[in-house]
Chains A and B, each alone.
Chain A
Amino acid sequence: MSSLKASVAGERELSPPVIVAEEVTKRFRTPGHVHFPSPRSFRFRFEKPTVKVALEGVSLAIPRGEIFGFLGPNGAGKTTLIKTIVGLLAPTEGRCLIRDADGRAFDSHTREAKLKLGYLPEQPYYHEFLTAEEFLLFHGRLLGLDDKEILAKVPPLLKRVGLTQARHQKLETFSKGMLQRVGLAQALIHDPDILVLDEPMSGLDPIGRREVREIITAIGETGKTIFFSTHIIHDVEVICTTVGYIREGVLMGAGPIDKLLGKTVRSMEIRFSLADGRDPREVPALKQARKTMDGWVIEVEADANRLEYDVQEVLRRVLDGKGTVRSVVPRRSTLEDLLFTGSAPL
């Protein structure tokens, strides 16, 4: 029985990290304001400058080749960490590093780091008067690529994100899902090792979400490291290999998803029937049993120390009553259970 409690399905070796955040703290200073008298309030009101702590000592290391899902509710600090990783924001304390294949580390605001990254911002805004091709040409030029090189890459890139037809169409005519996908193409022009995507699926309809999800999974299969944020657990469960969870600027934890989900057995579900169709609820240890189509089921809560004992007790009672045990199934936590109970052993 004890093997059930600690079973970790297929534990794997993790590669060395390519994205590293070291004790990153970010404080935003909001300037003070003076409210002048108005019909609503006749007094002068001074609003003091405040300091908002968006990230508090966040340390994170994403191994090469992982699809990392960065989960957290709105306002948790996901975008802020992503902006420091892509070098848009300077951390107040700590630093973000990007490592290459040779293990050299570059601070995230350096040119070398930026060349290794592809980035799709949250609700990206584009120069919408450009066509898809002009858009890719522009961003390719910023990356220092030659026009010939870029134009050769445009058709395969657009094919990859399913926009071959829209090559000469202006971005202002694109749907939200198409914009998100052309943004992904933009992030891939220079074939970076790392992709950083801020809520790539937010604001899309279910079909759009699935398209983007499939593209991300396909990119992940090419061996790139993908860091994406979301506040939707399902996205993470479907495509990620690693997750991190942030709340109010504090990283609650991070690790491989199979490990997290495999670790915690929430309860044991025992299905059984008793001889002669007896009602098990007369037996003290089986009081919690519920009737099912073909017998009875009892769920034994995973109380850390007592689980084995409780399960064995139930089994013994069933067998004592000349019953049949049909199945004993451990119910593992979903990511949602872990996050909402706050008991994530991350």
Chain B
Amino acid sequence: MSKFAKKARTRRQVSAIAAVTFQELIREKILWSSFLFGLLCVALAYLVSRLSFADNARIALDFGMAAISLVGGLISVVMGAVLVAKEVHNRTHYLVLTKPIWRWQFVLGRVAGLLGVLAVNAALMSAILVVVFLMSGGRLETSFFKCLALQVAEFGVLSAVACVFSVFTTSTLAAVFASGIWVAGHAMADIKILADKTEPYWMRPLLKTVSEIFPDLTRFDVKAEVSHSLPITWGYFAGTAAYGLAYMVFALAAACLIFSRKEL
């Protein structure tokens, strides 16, 4: 078999796993309840913007983007934590891993399926947000789309991190750990400051390590810029996207490595 055909086969196997994962995840109640919650937020944003005298469109936008960020983050953390642990717990992985595939293909397929769910979710919610925003008299700018793309990059990082926990612990613990990283990642600016100043002093190296290992999720958060119509430069955008991608690759490599060595 040629190298090309082998690569194509490898890709087909990963996408078969991704497709089944997608199908599995869109049946989850948590997805739909988070989605409804997000819609509720956007609707609320619309109502609030109607009632206030201030810049209606801006309020709707702020609310809507916060909702997208929250719902997407929640889905990434919860579903990422379940991604591998549930398969192992339900023993559905036996049939898959006795096929001629590598274990990393399994992990990547699962994550790809989740990313698909996240992308669809973000697309649906932002489509609705765009409608609301335009109805409230807002004007769309490219920064809005940059902001969305960076949001999705953050979801990717979060899912990959949750997936690392998912390969070696139960889904509950994985969700707890991943939520911790989600919160810490958004508090990264504070953690970095504390790492230099905190008392007792022995906490400092600990915080320093945390700030170096944990993903800096504040970088992906450009909601304030969009809200205030500040420009997001292409340089910042590309740099942040690259950071997200690199972090994801790093986390996924760790997940694949751990899973390959795991006794099943």
A141-170 interface with B by 8 A CB criterion: 141-144
Residue numbers in B under 8 Å from A119 (CB-CB): 94-95, 98
How many A residues have CB within 8 A of the partner chain? 29
Which residue from chain A places its CB closest to the CB of B8 in the assembled complex?
Answer: A144
Contact B92 A126 (CB under 8 A): yes
Contact A89 B263 (CB under 8 A): yes
Contact B99 A129 (CB under 8 A): no
Contact A126 B100 (CB under 8 A): no
Contact B27 A129 (CB under 8 A): yes
Once the chains are docked, how many angstroms separate the CA of A139 from the CA of B91?
A: 15
* Most A Cβ at <10 Å: residue of B90, B99, B264: B99
* Most B Cβ at <10 Å: residue of A28, A125, A129: A125
B82 to chain A, nearest CB (A): 14
Given the interface pairs A88-B264, A127-B92, the reply to whether A144 lies near B23 with Cβ below 8 Å is: no
Q: Hey, what's the 0/1 contact readout for B8-34 against A, CB within 8 Å counting as 1?
A: 010011001101100110010000000
Given the interface pairs A115-B100, A129-B27, A130-B23, the reply to whether A144 lies near B13 with Cβ below 8 Å is: yes
Q: Cβ of A230 < 8 Å from any Cβ of B?
A: no
A114 to chain B, nearest CB (A): 4
Contact B263 A141 (CB under 8 A): no
Residue numbers in B under 8 Å from A83 (CB-CB): 264
Q: Cβ of A111 < 8 Å from any Cβ of B?
A: yes
Choose one: A86, A87, A142, A186; the contact of B13 (CB below 8 Å).
A142
Contact A88 B20 (CB under 8 A): no
Choose one: A88, A130, A142; the contact of B94 (CB below 8 Å).
A88
Once the chains are docked, how many angstroms separate the CA of A90 from the CA of B97?
A: 13
Residue numbers in A under 8 Å from B97 (CB-CB): 88
Q: Cβ of B44 < 8 Å from any Cβ of A?
A: no
Contact A111 B100 (CB under 8 A): yes
Q: Cβ of B96 < 8 Å from any Cβ of A?
A: yes
Contact A125 B90 (CB under 8 A): yes
Contact A121 B91 (CB under 8 A): yes
Choose one: A87, A123, A129; the contact of B24 (CB below 8 Å).
A129
Q: Cβ of A174 < 8 Å from any Cβ of B?
A: no
A280 to chain B, nearest CB (A): 62
Contact A121 B99 (CB under 8 A): no
Once the chains are docked, how many angstroms separate the CA of A112 from the CA of B23?
A: 30
Given the interface pairs A138-B20, A144-B13, the reply to whether A86 lies near B92 with Cβ below 8 Å is: no
Q: Hey, what's the 0/1 contact readout for A75-88 against B, CB within 8 Å counting as 1?
A: 00000000100111
Contact B27 A86 (CB under 8 A): no
Residue numbers in A under 8 Å from B95 (CB-CB): 119, 121, 124, 126, 139, 183, 186
Once the chains are docked, how many angstroms separate the CA of A3 from the CA of B98?
A: 48
Residue numbers in B under 8 Å from A115 (CB-CB): 100
B95 to chain A, nearest CB (A): 7
Once the chains are docked, how many angstroms separate the CA of A87 from the CA of B103?
A: 12
Residue numbers in A under 8 Å from B94 (CB-CB): 88, 119, 121, 124-125
Q: Cβ of A117 < 8 Å from any Cβ of B?
A: yes
Residue numbers in A under 8 Å from B101 (CB-CB): 142
Residue numbers in A under 8 Å from B92 (CB-CB): 125-127
Choose one: A87, A127, A138; the contact of B98 (CB below 8 Å).
A87
Residue numbers in B under 8 Å from A130 (CB-CB): 20, 23
Once the chains are docked, how many angstroms separate the CA of A138 from the CA of B96?
A: 9
Which residue from chain B places its CB closest to the CB of A111 in the assembled complex?
Answer: B100
Contact B20 A127 (CB under 8 A): yes
Contact A141 B23 (CB under 8 A): no
Residue numbers in B under 8 Å from A124 (CB-CB): 91, 94-95
Once the chains are docked, how many angstroms separate the CA of A272 from the CA of B23?
A: 73
Once the chains are docked, how many angstroms separate the CA of A197 from the CA of B5?
A: 31
Once the chains are docked, how many angstroms separate the CA of A155 from the CA of B173?
A: 43
Once the chains are docked, how many angstroms separate the CA of A124 from the CA of B96?
A: 11
Q: Hey, what's the 0/1 contact readout for B91-131 against A, CB within 8 Å counting as 1?
A: 11011111111000000000000000000000000000000
Given the interface pairs A121-B94, A141-B13, A141-B16, the reply to whether A114 lies near B100 with Cβ below 8 Å is: yes
Once the chains are docked, how many angstroms separate the CA of A125 from the CA of B92?
A: 5
* Most A Cβ at <10 Å: residue of B9, B19, B98, B100: B98
Once the chains are docked, how many angstroms separate the CA of A170 from the CA of B131?
A: 37
Once the chains are docked, how many angstroms separate the CA of A28 from the CA of B264?
A: 11
Residue numbers in A under 8 Å from B16 (CB-CB): 138, 141-142
What are 30 A-B pairs at a CB distance below 8 A?
A83-B264, A86-B98, A87-B98, A88-B94, A88-B98, A89-B263, A89-B264, A90-B263, A111-B100, A114-B98, A117-B98, A119-B98, A121-B94, A121-B95, A121-B98, A124-B91, A124-B95, A125-B92, A127-B20, A127-B23, A127-B24, A127-B92, A129-B24, A130-B23, A141-B12, A141-B16, A142-B17, A142-B100, A144-B12, A144-B100
Q: Nearest 8 pairs between A and B by C-beta?
A: A141-B16, A142-B99, A111-B100, A121-B94, A114-B100, A125-B91, A119-B98, A86-B98
